[in-house]
Structures are given as C-alpha cells and as structure tokens.
A = this chain, B = another copy of it.
C-alpha cells in the first residue's frame, strides 16, 4: 500500500494517530486484533521498528493491549474509547482554532463559519 507521511512529524506518531482515528471511527472494533508489527510495517512500507514504537506508544496510552505471543488488541472498554474520542476531538479542534486565530479570525467568526458550513441553508442569526 505504501502510505505517504509528512516529513514534519515523526512517522511513528502519524501511525499512532492513524490507528486512533480508525478506532474512533469504528473501522477497528474493540477487542479486535491489529496486524502484527511485521505485517503492518510491510503494509505501510516502513521499518518494523517504527511500527513497534507506535504500538508501544499506543499501549502506553492504554489504547491497545499487547498479549505476549498473541499480538496487539484494541482495548475493549467503551469508557476508554470515549476518552480517546474526546482527546482526538480536542486535539483537532484546538489545532483548527489555533490556525484560525493566527489568521486573525475572531471566535464569533469561527463559530459562525463552522455552523454555516454544516447547515448552509441556515442564516445563522441568533449567535449570542
């Protein structure tokens, strides 16, 4: 498959995020087995060490669980998953808002812009 990775961020971090996104989207179910380090490395076209490091990080964050001799499994805990979901949300939201504010957009403009984009037909008055 050979993914494309940004050079501006460590590849292992990008793998971590990718797996998190897939879990949050339910592309991977709770309890499901992840591909082995070796398989994942081949699939992504990166060094197995890089995948290994990503899996370690995911385990440290209690996102996956590694069982010796069996493989790595997504934590089957809805509460944990909910937490992960929220973390991801906050992360993306904060990055977005940082960018927007850097460009000089006011909080009101940002909220309005998001609302308008989601419901283009609505005039979106009533803000505040």
Contact = CB atoms under 8 A, between A and B. Distances in A.
Interface bin, chain A: 35 or more
The copy count of this chain in the complex is 4
Contacts of A127: 126-128
A88 interface: yes
A77 interface: no
Interface string A9-30: 0000000000001001110000
Contacts of A8: 4-7
Majority SS at the chain A contact face: helix
Contacts of A109: 89
A117 B103 contact: no
B6 A103 contact: no
A127 B21 CA distance: 26
A99 B92 contact: yes
Given A4-B8, A96-B92, A100-B89, A111 B118 contact: yes
B119 A107 contact: yes
A110 B118 CA distance: 9
A70 to B, nearest CB: 19
